[in-house]
A = this chain, B = another copy of it.
């Protein structure tokens, strides 16, 4: 009894410490970029000792990769919850594209882009990120198929979902330095009509 009841709170404390570190990492990437994100700054921001941080994430590459994985999972859960509240019928597609448009201009996108670009010229980070890129890409694709409620076995559906995600990634980059929302909204209005035609059996 004693062993089990002390182990559970320890595990919970560990998980809470990890979550604080990962969220501080993403905040740091958004605020200061890759080069301004140091493990020291993240530990201070999370209120976690350097020893505890190194215990959980021994390198900067391990820390930032875990942070993007963590936030990607959390954002996917949030998107699923938000999507549950959406109406069925033709308006659903429009609202799903709107939700994705918000995701691709938000903190996760910005933090991930910082890492993707830094990883191009940083071998350790690249080796950690390439498998994560594949997982996140696949999960994002599956999630979009599920939110849209479409059947990927139908011809053209897979390509239409892919094009939507690539388009949104491009729009996310266009929004980095200036507010591109007016142009993005207009462009996505047109895209929704095209996507609807591509997805309608």
Q: Is A177 an interface residue (CB 8 A)?
A: yes
Q: In the complex, A198→B173 CA distance in Å?
A: 24
Q: Please indicate the chain B residues that have their CB under 8 angstroms from the CB of A169 in the complex.
A: 169-170, 173-174
Complex Cα distance A24/B145, Å? 44
What B residues does A32 contact at CB under 8 A? 121
Q: Chain B residues with Cβ under 8 A from A166's Cβ?
A: 167, 170-171, 174, 187
Q: Say whether chain A's binding surface is mostly helix, strand, loop, or mixed.
A: helix
Task: Type the 1/0 row for A1-41, where 1 means its CB is closer than 8 Å to any CB of B.
Answer: 00000000000000000000000000000011111100000
Once the chains are docked, how many angstroms separate the CA of A126 from the CA of B121?
22
A112 smallest CB distance to B (angstroms): 10
Q: How far is the CB of A36 from chain B (nearest CB, A)?
A: 6
Mark A residues whose CB is within 8 Å of B: 31-36, 110, 113-114, 116-122, 126, 129-130, 133, 137, 156, 159, 162-163, 165-174, 176-178, 183, 186-187, 190-191, 194, 198
